[in-house]
Every structure is written in C-alpha cells, then in structure tokens.
Amino acid sequence: VQLVESGGGLVQAGGSMRLSCATSGFPFDERAIGWYRRIPGKGREGVACINIVDGKTYISKAVKGRFTISSDNAKRMVYLQMDNLKLEDTDVYYCTSLGPYFCQFYQYGEASGSDRSGSGALVTVSS
C-alpha cells in the first residue's frame, strides 16, 4: 500500500494550490481517500474525503467553500484543490486510505479509520 502526495509549497494568502495523491497497492475502488492535517495539541484534523465507492465527498466546516476534493479513478489519483488559502491553512497535508464508512466523519473534522497514509506535503501560506 502506497500513497504519495505532491504539489505542496509556498503560496500567498488568498491564493490557490492543488495537492495530488498517487495511490497503489490496494483496491482503490473499494476504499475512501481522505486528506488530513495536524493541529498542535489536537492531533489529526480531517479536511476532506472522497468515497471512491459511490463518489460522495465530505468537506470539513473549516475549509468548506474553499477546498474541494476529486478523483481520477482510472489513474488512481485524488486531488485536493485549495482556494482562498488562509494563514491558518499552513500545515503538512497527508492523504490517507480509509474504510468508506469513516469518510462521512471528515465533514466534522474527524480523521479516523485510516490504514495507511503518505509522508505528507507541506503547504505554507504567507501574508
């Protein structure tokens, strides 16, 4: 099982960035793929999740209206489009494989049910 993030970097506040997650080694169409970040003192914060089984997406309230998640199932890729970035979005973003049942909880900022995650992509938002 492998997940590899790409696309991080430095961006000005108000700008946009797209993260990509390349996956391999597991039945992609039987899983959900989520993006989470780490909040100091609080642990993981679920940002967005897509259930590959039925295509449903879940976006946390913290980023709703600014972030979108999508997938290219033929390529086994998942994308996190981040618009109108804020300073507080600065973090390392991880993509993760999880059971489809847990995907719904990402809308509440919960990131649970993961079985494997990538090494992360650093997103730095500057003023």
Structure confidence at residue 42 (pLDDT)? 85
| % of the chain with per-residue pLDDT over 70 | 100
Structure confidence at residue 21 (pLDDT)? 98
Structure confidence at residue 40 (pLDDT)? 86
Residue 77 clears pLDDT 90, i.e. is over it: yes
Mean pLDDT of 112-126: 96
Structure confidence at residue 124 (pLDDT)? 98
pLDDT tens per residue across span 38-57: 988 889 999 999 999 999 99
Mean pLDDT of 103-107: 98
Residues 6+ apart with CB under 8 A from 104: 49, 58
**What distance lies between CA 69 and its chain's CA centroid?**
7
Across all residues in the chain, what is the average pLDDT?
97
Structure confidence at residue 78 (pLDDT)? 98
**pLDDT tier for residue 1 given thresholds of 50, 70 and 90:** confident
Structure confidence at residue 111 (pLDDT)? 96
Which residues are bridge partners to 34 per DSSP?
49, 96
Matching residue, tokens 């998640």: 69
φ, ψ for residue 17, nearest 5 deg: -155, 145
Angle at 120 between CA 117 and CA 122, to 5 degrees: 160
